[in-house]
């Protein structure tokens, strides 16, 4: 699924979805990881050659459109997403 941020800019492609209460820890700093695990999150493979994975919490997702191709619209800009620690 393609991901667009609140400004309509391409943010990347969803590579994983975790529901609220998951035990799957995202690769982000402590504190943020626990928040994402509580709210659920999507991992986004970013665009651009210097980008790394980012994470959007359930509260940062505005709309999900199912189908082929599906899409995710965010409530925040790309710069506000949580960046992977690695």
Read off the tokens for 43: 């991992």
Instruction: Look at the pTM and tell me if it is higher than 0.95.
Output: no
Q: What pLDDT does residue 80 have?
A: 95
Q: What pLDDT does residue 50 have?
A: 55
Q: What pLDDT does residue 49 have?
A: 60
Question: Which regions of the chain are under pLDDT 50?
Answer: none
The mean pLDDT value of the chain amounts to 92
The tally of domains found in the chain comes to 1
Q: What pLDDT does residue 48 have?
A: 66
Nearest CA-CA partner of 44 in 35, 54, 57: 54
- pLDDT per residue over 43-57, tens digit each? 999 876 656 899 999
- Domain span at residue 72 reads 2-83
């Amino acid at each position: 699924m393609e991901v667009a941020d609140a400004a309509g800019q391409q943010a990347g492609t969803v590579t994983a979805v975790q529901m609220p209460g998951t035990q799957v820890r995202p690769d982000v700093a402590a504190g943020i990881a626990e928040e994402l695990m509580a709210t659920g999150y999507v991992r986004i493979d970013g665009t651009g050659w210097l980008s790394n994975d980012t994470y959007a919490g359930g509260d940062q997702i505005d709309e999900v459109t199912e189908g082929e191709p599906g899409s995710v619209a965010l409530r925040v800009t790309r710069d506000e997403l949580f960046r992977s620690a690695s």
